[in-house]
Amino acid sequence: MPELPEVETIVRQLDHRLTGLVFGQTEISYPKIISPLSPTGFAKKLVGQEVLRVYRRAKIIIIELSGDQSILIHLKMTGQLIFQPAKTSPVNLIVGGHPQTDPSKHTRAILSFRDGSSLRFNDLRKFGWLKLVNQETREKILAPHGVEPLTKNFTTKLFAELVARYLKRKIKQLLLDQTLVAGLGNIYVDEACFRAKILPTRTAQTLTHSETTALHREIIAVLKHSIKKKGTSARNYVISDGTKGGFVPYLNVYGRGGLPCKTCGTPINKIKLNGRGTHFCPKCQK
């Protein structure tokens, strides 16, 4: 599940590798991932365009091109973006615990560059997408997202205002809402709540001022820590060079249902909250 730290890791690597490359041929094996153009239209428009930079907004990857166009990419739950350098053997991947060579049967698109390198979009569950859009459409798609938690715009005051505005919402639900804070997903919401010692099931209105401050602080801290470790490879997230992120050993609750809390030894509780697997320590979190 690529969330902010995973997408950020991919983007940093791709920006470094793709900037300056010029697109050549494009192969689409699963047309439904492409919009708003047809795969043919997509390929035609892409040819000859140079990559200016690669950046991120929320969980969306933006490849900015010469001219007016950008490729927007969302990996959703199982998307992978693999960079294949020119004249090298296929990148090795681990998918669902099994070694796999890329490209695989889950490769949905291959965007080639004129120097012989290529970018592959793999997506087991076909939820992810690629859009080739102009600036105006790009901004229309990006605009509805909330504050970027790793920018100076994400102040304690702003976060407190959000908490005060959506009083009836459960904390977890509030944090998962991409229109409020952008980039958090199931993993980092659970982790941030643990670090702030707050139960994800509580409603916003029950938070004290110091709890709100702590939650704000821990959201930032856990995201930064994970980026430093290149993200969480809980399932099939890989970085664009096929390697895995290193944050799993630092997870306190996500994926640890029934295992002892690293702080107090109490078994981690796992419940369903609004249809999401939710993990917490019943003793450390109040």
Partner DNA sequence: GTGTTTGTTATCAA
Partner DNA sequence: CTTGATAACAAACA
Determine the Cα–Cα distance for residues 57 and 66; give it in Å rounded to an integer.
19
**Per-residue binding letters, 152-191, with DNA (x by CB under 7 A):** -------------xxxxxx--x--x-x------xxx----
Beta strands in the chain (DSSP E): 23-28, 34-35, 51-57, 60-65, 69-74, 79-84, 92-95, 98-101, 107-113, 118-123, 129-134, 269-273, 276-280
We find the least distance from the C-beta atom of residue 30 to DNA, in angstroms, to be 8
Determine the Cα–Cα distance for residues 25 and 14; give it in Å rounded to an integer.
19
We find the least distance from the C-beta atom of residue 276 to DNA, in angstroms, to be 5
For the chain, give the number of residues.
Answer: 286
74 binds DNA (CB under 7 A): yes
The interface region with DNA, picked from 45-53, 95-103, 214-222, 258-266 by CB under 7 A, is 95-103
93 binds DNA (CB under 7 A): no
We find the least distance from the C-beta atom of residue 21 to DNA, in angstroms, to be 26
Task: Identify whether the C-beta of residue 80 lies closer than 8 Å to the C-beta of residue 108.
Answer: no
We find the least distance from the C-beta atom of residue 97 to DNA, in angstroms, to be 7
Cα→Cα distances 161→49, 173, 182, Å? 43, 16, 16
198 binds DNA (CB under 7 A): no
Q: Which residues are catalytic?
A: 2-3, 59, 276
Residues 6 or more apart whose Cβ sits within 8 Å of residue 62: 54, 55, 56, 70, 71, 72, 73, 138, 142
**Per-residue binding letters, 222-261, with DNA (x by CB under 7 A):** ----------------------------------------
Interaction site with DNA (CB under 7 A): 1, 3, 32, 58-60, 74, 76-77, 96-98, 124-127, 144, 165-170, 173, 176, 178, 185-187, 270, 272, 274-277
